[in-house]
Amino acid sequence: MNSLKPLLYFSIFKYPLSAEEIYMFSPAANKSEINDELEYLKKKGVVSIDNSYYFLDGDIQSVTRRIEGNKMAKAVMDKAIKKGVFISKFPYIKGVGISGALSKNYHDKDGDVDFFVITKPGRLWIARTLLMLYKKIFLFNSRKFFCINYFISESSLEISEKNIFTATELLTLIPVSGNFAEFYNKNQWVSEFLPNLEIGKPSIISKNKKSFLSRFIEFILNSKIGNLLELLFLRLTVKKWTTKFNTLSKEDFKIAMKSTNGVSKHHPQNFQKKVIAKLNKKYNEFQSKYNIELEKEHA
């Protein structure tokens, strides 16, 4: 039942799917397989359909929610792209992509716009600190269109947490600026989870010239001073986060708040772990209710 896993996954976010989307987010060999399964599941009362969107548990309100969310996503996308281009102009930023809900064509009045950022090797923490200072000073720490919670260096492009959540996030990422070719090349493993989704989207803007100020800052910090600041910003951030998020276990902190020379994650809710735990719970409930066994996911 290859159609069930994508339906169950996106039901966590109350996001019904079209038959085409179910196929794309499944390992099915062809679309006919999905269409046949959906017809069978409709007759059995397992799935329902409205406005060409399939959903579970009679949650027809999720269809209206999706349609409205799609409209809002379209309305804010241009602004999000402009913010992504703006972020790419900062020192040591090599690539910027839109992630999270907006990358899946959904946005609501309470939503943030999440950005995934690639930096120059050895300058991730300087790049991150400059962006955070800008957000705190000029945006009064607002996250609405400036949520920058995941940075990786060009020297650490392979995502180490390999699971259905990270594969979905990577394959729905919208590259805004920079060359993502090597990033996709290093993460071919995602096709093991979602073989029907194409890997390797081109950036909306492949080249983005830095400002004089940005180039000047890089010139000054391409030195021993820059090396010392990089180490200092890393240590200060880790110290702050260790104190602030001391309720996280060491294992959860290591993943959700990963802080290395090549990676910075700020996910204190450990959303990845929560989503996979919820998904496996849904698998168990589904098995009990319909006697349909689904292979469990790992975090």
Residue 22 pLDDT > 80, yes or no? yes
Question: What are the sequence ranges of the domains in the chain?
Answer: 4-65+276-290, 76-273
Strand order in the sheet with 114-119: 174-178, 93-99, 114-119, 147-153, 263-265
Q: Which residue has the tokens 């196929």?
A: 23
What pLDDT score was predicted for residue 207? 77
User: pLDDT for 183-206, tens place per residue?
Assistant: 999 999 999 999 999 999 999 997
What pLDDT score was predicted for residue 179? 92
Question: What does the CA dihedral 149, 153, 158, 160 come to, rounded to 10 degrees?
Answer: -50
Tell me, what amino acid is at 255? I
Alpha-carbon gap, residue 32 to 54, rounded angstroms: 16
What pLDDT score was predicted for residue 230? 98
For the domain with range 4-65+276-290, which CATH number is right: 3.30.2010, 1.10.10, 2.60.40, 3.30.470? 1.10.10
- CA-closest candidate to residue 128, choices 136, 284, 23: 136
Ranges assigned E (strand) in the chain: 47-50, 53-56, 93-99, 114-119, 147-153, 174-178, 263-265
145: confidence class by pLDDT, cuts 50, 70, 90: confident
Residue 164, CA distances (Å) to 13, 15, 53, 281 in order = 15, 17, 22, 15
Give the 3-state secondary structure of residue 201: coil
Q: Is this model's pTM higher than 0.85 or not?
A: yes
12: confidence class by pLDDT, cuts 50, 70, 90: very high
108: confidence class by pLDDT, cuts 50, 70, 90: very high
What pLDDT score was predicted for residue 140? 87
Residue 208 pLDDT > 80, yes or no? no
144: confidence class by pLDDT, cuts 50, 70, 90: confident
Q: What is the DSSP string of 236-267?
A: HHHHHHHHHTTTS-HHHHHHHT-BSSSEEE--
Residue 101, CA distances (Å) to 54, 107, 169, 289 in order = 19, 6, 9, 30
